């Protein structure tokens, strides 16, 4: 029997990458009702993928939105002129300095940080400068409260995570509270802090609503991607997607000298199953085969349907002996399956042809052809057996 390593799941668990559609966490999540249920965290791989997608979109917008945000900070100096023309030149210098400090994060090559951290750097530098300018101006903390509160919504655009949103607002909030308590009468201070807190809460709600729509869009995209890459009946990879991943694995094997094996499975006398038990039972046989194979394979393996009752396993990092043990384990597990039908219990078997990558395999069709020849020999020798390409 092929030894299961750390990347292999026990047979009872669904295969993470290639399980049937009804069993994947992603498809299960898409069946949830829209609304507040979308606030629930996705499975960790999907959660990371969603945030990576959001960060990629933000990365594209930051070179435009970042300078616009900085320009807005500088243009607020016009309002400073109305309050105190004498102090306006100092606040303008402070605003320009903050924009200069934050501008290093506008573009990815300037700072080797994540896009979320760069957005936080821009927000903290710009908003803290804005708060300091209002502190310097007479009644600035009162008249400029709307501008500070509006900046909270800019922070809500930068992340889908409430903890990151809270970290981004921490320094400006502490600065605003401290300066308001120092400068304003207690009644104005309490009123300003209550308005600021309401703006923060409203911005947090906006963030959560954005997360709902982002998660909904992400799940729909992933569902469409899954449907385009997998067979609708069995959940196995369809032929086009299987060829893509197989060619990629073959290129890695050729470039880095890695091991690679292919196993082709074919259900024995499948036409008789359809004729005797009906096509609905035949579909159940195909689905049971895929579920069983997914449970026996590793997460790095790929399992797909070529068409009809023919399936292919692409086994990276697998030598000849391991491939034969894997094929024999699949054959044996499938021979033990029973399908309940109106005509009684149905048993079926498969024949398996195994081919291992070697110098004679210039491309994927050549490797698949050898596995097909081995499968033909397994059929010719009596079915319900494993045959190795090139072996007598």
The answer to whether position 17 is within a domain reads no
Domain boundary among 212, 227, 242: 227
Q: How far is CA 170 from the centre of its chain?
A: 29
Look at residues 227, 253, 284 and tell me which one is the last residue of a structural domain.
227
Task: Please tell me the predicted confidence (pLDDT) of residue 332.
Answer: 95
Whether 244 and 169 map to the same domain: the answer is no
One domain for residues 354 and 275: yes
Residue 304 lies in a domain: yes
Q: What CA–CA distance (Å, rounded) separates 349 from 355? A: 20
Taking the C-alpha atoms of residue 354 and residue 390, their distance in angstroms, rounded to an integer, is 10
Q: Is 57 helix (H, G, I), strand (E, B) or coil?
A: helix
258 within 8 A of 252, measured Cβ to Cβ: yes
Are both 308 and 365 inside the same structural domain? yes
Flag whether 19 is in a domain: no
CATH of the domain at 340: 3.30.70.270
Concatenated DSSP letters of 74-129: HHTHHHHHHH-HHHHHHHHHHHHHHHHHHGGGSSTTTS-S-HHHHHHHHHHHHHHH
247 and 142 together in one domain: no
On whether both 322 and 339 belong to a single domain, the answer is yes
Q: What was the pLDDT predicted at 391? A: 61
223 shares a domain with 145: yes
Domain identity same for 113 and 258: no
One domain for residues 301 and 333: yes
Contact status, residue 226 vs residue 241, Cβ threshold 8 Å = no
pLDDT in tens, the chain (392 residues): 344 443 343 333 333 333 333 334 344 444 443 344 445 667 888 888 888 888 888 888 888 888 888 888 888 888 888 888 888 888 889 989 988 988 888 887 767 788 899 999 999 999 999 999 989 988 888 888 888 888 899 899 889 889 999 999 999 999 999 999 999 999 999 999 999 999 999 999 999 999 999 899 998 998 898 888 999 899 999 999 999 999 999 999 999 989 999 999 999 999 999 999 999 999 999 999 999 999 999 999 999 999 889 999 999 999 999 999 999 999 999 999 999 999 889 999 999 999 999 888 889 999 999 999 999 999 999 999 999 987 65
Distance CA 325, CA 190 (A): 74
Specify the pLDDT at position 110: 67
Please indicate, yes or no, if residue 366 is contained in any of the structural domains: yes
Burial 41-62 (b: 16+ CB within 10 A, else e): ebeeebeebbbebbbeebbeeb
- Residues contacting residue 383 through CB under 8 Å, at least 6 positions apart: 268, 269, 349, 351
Q: Clarify whether residues 101 and 77 are in a common domain.
A: yes
| CA 377/CA 45 separation, integer angstroms | 41
- Decide which of 227, 261, 296 is a domain's last residue: 227
One domain for residues 189 and 88: yes
- Label residue 201 exposed, middle or buried (CB < 10 Å: 0-12, 13-18, 19+): exposed
Beta strand pairing call for 339-341 and 386-388: unpaired
C-alpha–C-alpha distance, residues 169 and 160, integer Å? 14
Domain region containing 362: 234-388
Q: Which residues contact 305 (CB under 8 A, 6 or more apart)?
A: 231, 234, 236, 237, 238, 239, 242, 286, 290, 311, 312
Report the run of H or E that residue 224 belongs to, with start and end.
helix 186-229
Residue 12 inside a domain? The answer is no
Would residue 9 count as lying in a domain? no
In this prediction the pTM is 0.66
Looking at the structure of the chain, the number of domains it has is 2
- Is the residue at 18 inside a domain? no
16 lies in some domain: no
User: 222 and 243: one domain?
Assistant: no
Q: Are residues 330 and 198 in the same domain?
A: no
């Amino acid at each position: 029997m092929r030894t299961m390593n750390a990347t292999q799941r026990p047979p009872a668990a669904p295969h993470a990458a290639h399980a049937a559609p009804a069993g994947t966490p992603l498809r299960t999540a898409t069946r949830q009702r829209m609304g507040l249920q979308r606030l629930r965290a996705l499975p960790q791989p999907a959660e990371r993928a969603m945030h990576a997608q959001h960060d990629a979109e933000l990365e594209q917008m930051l070179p435009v939105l970042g300078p616009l945000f900085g320009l807005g900070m500088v243009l607020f100096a016009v309002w400073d002129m109305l309050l105190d023309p004498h102090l306006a030149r100092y606040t303008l210098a402070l605003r320009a300095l903050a924009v200069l400090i934050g501008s290093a994060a506008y573009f990815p090559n300037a700072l080797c940080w994540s896009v979320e951290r760069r957005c936080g750097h821009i927000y903290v530098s710009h908003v803290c400068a804005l708060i300091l300018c209002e502190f310097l101006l007479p009644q600035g903390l009162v008249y400029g409260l709307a501008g500070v509160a509006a900046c909270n919504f800019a922070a809500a655009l930068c992340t889908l995570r409430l903890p990151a949103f809270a970290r981004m607002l921490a320094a400006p909030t502490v600065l605003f509270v401290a300066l308001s308590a120092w400068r304003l009468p207690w009644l104005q201070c309490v009123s300003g802090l209550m308005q600021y807190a309401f703006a923060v809460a409203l911005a947090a709600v906006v963030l959560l609503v954005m997360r709902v729509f982002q998660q909904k869009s992400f799940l729909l995209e992933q569902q469409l991607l899954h449907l385009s890459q997998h067979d609708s009946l069995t959940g196995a990879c369809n032929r086009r997607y299987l060829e893509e991943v197989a060619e990629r694995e073959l290129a890695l094997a050729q470039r880095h000298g890695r091991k690679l094996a292919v196993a082709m499975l074919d259900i024995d006398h499948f036409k008789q199953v359809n004729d005797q038990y009906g096509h609905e039972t035949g579909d159940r046989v195909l689905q049971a085969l895929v579920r069983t194979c997914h449970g026996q394979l590793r997460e790095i393996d790929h399992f797909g349907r070529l068409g009809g009752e023919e399936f292919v396993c692409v086994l990276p990092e697998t030598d000849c002996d391991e491939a034969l043990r894997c094929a024999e384990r699949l054959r044996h597990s499938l021979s033990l399956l029973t399908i309940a039908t109106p005509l009684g219990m149905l048993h079926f078997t498969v024949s398996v042809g195994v081919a291992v990558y070697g110098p004679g395999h210039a491309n994927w069709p050549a490797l698949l052809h050898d596995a097909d020849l081995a499968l033909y020999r397994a059929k010719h020798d009596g079915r319900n057996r494993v045959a190795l390409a090139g072996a007598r």
